[in-house]
Structure formats: structure tokens, C-alpha cells
A and B are shown apart, each in its own frame.
Chain A
Amino acid sequence: MRFSNPILIKEMRSRMRGMRAFLVLTGYVTLLSIIVGLIYLVLSKNAPATLVNQAGIVLTPVLIYVQMGLICLIAPTFSASAVSFEREQQTFDLLIVSLAKPTTILFGKVGAALSYLLLTLFGSVPLISLTYSMGGVSMGDIAIAYLIMIVQGVTYCSFSFLWSTLIKRSVVSQLVSILTVIVLVAAMPALALFFTALSASFTGGPSSTFINVTFLLLRTNPFAAVASLIPGFPMPNNVWLRSVPIWLSQVVFYLLLMISSLYLSLRRLRNARNWV
């Protein structure tokens, strides 16, 4: 069977035309290289030789975190205007009245946002290979980190697309999508830590329930998932779901979020005729 999604092809034609895409990708890899280079310089001058010999243990997580931060910005920006921008530029009616199925629109739009994201992610592979060669990290951990990043990107693209079907104006849709990312990445762990600290101030130490809640909330966080791969990550003995790796539960949580978003988006697209 021949796979062909006209929306995906059209989006890629629009995005990859001219020098813009090439320059953005080059700028992105250059930025990552500068960050890695600077940290290596600082490390080689100030850190003990044992750490410098295993510089990968510092550089790889830094590289991954910078990329995760960029995913938090890029994924909503690309995907949150997918439908709302079509409505703004008055092309959505032409799309709906064609024979394009809602699934074609969904996978075409999300796929286009995702393909550019994946391109930037894979653009960093040579750099990661370099930090890997510096020692201190396993190939398995790098693979898991990339899995976390890919799932993170797909999930953010999915719920941003859902927002774009719900909100008419693309600027508002992008803003709401970025706010959702902030809530997922920063607000929930911050809230958990705040309540843990609050409980500690009343009882002289954090109660086990609060620690459990904190770790449960951390299990929804991709940054915590990557941190849990670093040797020495603090994991209390009696915490809930101790035997389940944090990265695994985080990936499962994000996959559920992604499936729900895609399902709701599809339902919304099927009822496009009821949109006012």
C-alpha cells in the first residue's frame, strides 16, 4: 500500500521551502554545540580529572535537557496553529468540503509538526555521539532519553492540535498550549514540592504520604524521568511504585495523554460542521 498524506506533503513543502528551515536547523545545532563546548571548557579547567575523564555524565544530560526545553517551545508553536490558522486564513472550509477524512487532516497536521521536531532531534545525534564517546553514560540510557523526548514531542503536538481545533485564534491557541506545557512540566512538581515543604514545617519532617504524592507527580514529568536515569538519583525505599522505573511511568502517562488528545481532536474534526 502506498502511504501518501496530501496535507503532510503540503505542510512539508511550505515548511522546507527556501533557506529558513536549513538556517533554523543549522542555528539549533550550532547553539547546542556552543553550550556543550562551553561546559566542556569549564569542566576541563575546574573539575577533577576523574570527572573530566567521564565528561559525558555531565554533558549528555545537559544536551538532553536543552533539547527537552526546546521541545517545550517548538512543539506547541508548530502544532497549536494547525487548524486555527487554517480558519484564520479562510482555507479550512475548502479543506472540510474536500474528500479529506478527519484522520487525514489529523495525521497530516500533527505529522508535519512532528516531522520538523524529529528533524531537529535527529540533528543533535552527532553531538550526542560526541558526548557519549566522552564516557559516563550508557547507550541504553541515551536511547531511553530519546524515547522520552520523542514521546514528549508527540504528546505536546497532540494536545496543542486539540487546542487548535477548540480555539479560533492561533495566537490564543499557542498561548494556551504553552501554558499547558508549563503546567505539566513545572507547575505540578512545584506544587508537590510546595506541599511537601509545607507538611515538613508542621510535622518536623515530610510525611510519607506527601513524599509518595511528590514522587507520583514526578512520574508525570519528562525532566524528572531523564534525571532518574542519572546514577545517584534519590529514590526513597518505601515510596509507591518503587519497582517501576520513573521514565517508564512517565512515558506511559504521556502516551495516555497523547491518545486522549488525538481521540478528542478526531471527534472534534468529525463535528466540524457544527463549529460556528
Chain B
Amino acid sequence: MIKIENVTKTFGDFTAVDAVNLEIGKGEVFGFIGPNGAGKTTTIKMLATLSLPTEGTLSVGGFDIVRQPREVRRIIGYMPDSFGVYEDLLVWEYLDYFAALYQVEPSRRKGIINDVLELTDLTIKYNAQVMSLSRGMKQRLCLAKTLLHDPDVLLLDEPASGLDPHARIEIRELIRELCRMGKTILVSSHILTELADFCSSIGIIERGKMLAAGRIDEITAALSGNVVIEITVKGDPLAAIQVLEEREDITRATSDGRVVHAEFTGATDDVDQVLEYLINRGVRLTAFTPASADLEDIFLKITRGAVA
């Protein structure tokens, strides 16, 4: 659905995006991760047809963003990281304005406006002035505007930035709902926990370079190395450590109170053998959790040394 081939974008001497390649399939939710100034917004702006690449090609839904911008605009919904709203309009007028700009037929507009307001939980604000909305509500209003023409692809640039925790959760739930609706979503953030819950794949970008991209489980498997197993024991943790160290595939075992951390060098699928071994050797345990690396671990691992 989204294809980025060898794309470079420069501003004078500064290279904002450096030979980036990326492919996002239909219905996928792609998390674009990177620190501030990494090149996320520049890439998203190019996909949104707001900026032209210096080199390379970008296409959305098979349409080239340079040669067919209008076709691209028809199928994308773009929510920028920082945006303004027309403060002196009413909420329905704001949405009606964008519905008209997206050439939604006048007879269908009212119904669509009601639908997107319901989806974004703003129905109660139908006749409110935009300036009276809170920051979170304005963010949701912008998302509602993005959905007016029922786009197949959503480009969401830091959709929860600057929001309080409650509003952040609301936006996250909304994106989750859009995932269920089958939209292809590219969502950027520098807050990794925001993306971990609902992204099927991720791309990590830093200083304009795409350091890794693909399905989260594939990247995790490729990068996480040893699996750390968390074992909560009922008896003496030192006895459990002794049993664990008998195995060749356990390189290290330490305890923290009743919790034992063991580094397992075998395949992820073989972790159950350790559990079986412990039970057979009479170790009494209440929890056994193979902890795979989370997005934060992966990000730090990939960008180690490169992050200032």
C-alpha cells in the first residue's frame, strides 16, 4: 500500500532522509519510531504529497506522489504533528468545510459528520465553537477531519503529542478502533510505549537513515539474542539457581528476592524445556515468564552509540 524506494530528502547541505526503503502492506499498522529530528515528519510529509523527494520514489496505493498527487490525496488521511484549527468556526462547520474540500456530496455530509463525531466521541460538541475545545478534543477533531472522506491510508504524525495521559489513552483507543476497521496506518511517535500495543510492524529511523524495519516479532527475534526468563520460586532461590546452572543453555542466573533471572541461549520455542527441567528437579515455582525484548530494548539496541 505504501512503498518508499531509495528516498533521499535534503535541505541545502542537510540530509533529512537518507536513502530510505520501506514497504507497508494493506491493513498493516506501521509504527515509525525515532527521536526528534530523525526524519519521520519529513518522510510522512513526502507521503502526504506536501514535499517532494530529492531522490527516489514514493507511492501510496500504487499512485506516485510526484506525478499523481491528486490520486494520492484522495486515498490518504493526514494528521500533522502540529496543526492549527479555525478557532472561530463551530465544530460542525469545521468538519463541513473539510468535507466540502474533500468533495463529499452535500447530501451525504451531515451523516458523515455525525459518524466521525461519534467515532471520535465528540458528538456532544457538534455546535460548540472550536476555540472552546480542549487540546485533546482538538486532536480528536483533527482526526475526525482526517476520516471524513473515508481514506484507505492514514498518516498520523505524533497523534498524541502534547496530550495528558487520559487524552493519550483516548487517542490510542481511537487508533486501535481504526485498525479494526482495516485501515492501513502509518503512525509516528518518539514515545515507544505508545506504539507497542497496536503496531504490527515498525521502522526505526535515526538521522535520516532507516536502521531497521519489519514485523515486530521478526525484529525482536533477530535482535533480542538471549531470552531472559523470569522465574518466581516458592522455596529457596539459590537452590533454583543451582539447578538452572546445570544446564548448558543457561549462561547466567541471578536472584532478586524470590525472582530468579536466567539467560537462556536456546531457541525461543525451546523455553518450555527449562520449565519441564525445573519441575522434574523438584523446584517449586509460582511463575515462569520468558521475557522477550520490548520496543524500548530493541530501539536502544539498534541505536546504541548513535543516540546522542
Residues of A within 8 A of B (CB): 4, 6-7, 9-10, 13-14, 17, 89-91, 93-100, 104, 273-274, 276
Contacts and interface: CB of A to CB of B under 8 A. Distances in A.
B83 A93 contact: yes
Among A89, A95, A97, A98, which residue has the most Cβ atoms of chain B within 10 A? A97
Interface of B: 11, 45, 48-52, 69-70, 73-74, 76, 78, 80, 82-86, 88-89, 93, 97-98, 100-103, 106, 145, 149
B97 A94 contact: no
A7 to B, nearest CB: 8
Contact of B51 (A94, A98, A273): A273
A139 B16 CA distance: 64
Contacts of A274: 52
B60 to A, nearest CB: 12
Nearest to B82: A90
15 contacts: A7-B101, A9-B100, A17-B88, A90-B82, A90-B84, A91-B86, A94-B145, A96-B49, A97-B50, A98-B73, A98-B98, A98-B101, A98-B102, A99-B70, A273-B69
Contact of B49 (A6, A9, A17, A273): A273
B89 A99 contact: no
Nearest to B100: A6
A13 B89 contact: yes
B52 A273 contact: yes
A19 to B, nearest CB: 13
A99 B101 contact: yes
A7 B100 CA distance: 9
Contacts of B51: 273
Given A7-B101, A13-B89, A97-B78, 5 more contacts: A6-B100, A9-B97, A13-B93, A89-B84, A95-B101
B46 to A, nearest CB: 9
Among B100, B101, B106, B145, which residue has the most Cβ atoms of chain A within 10 A? B101
B73 A94 contact: no
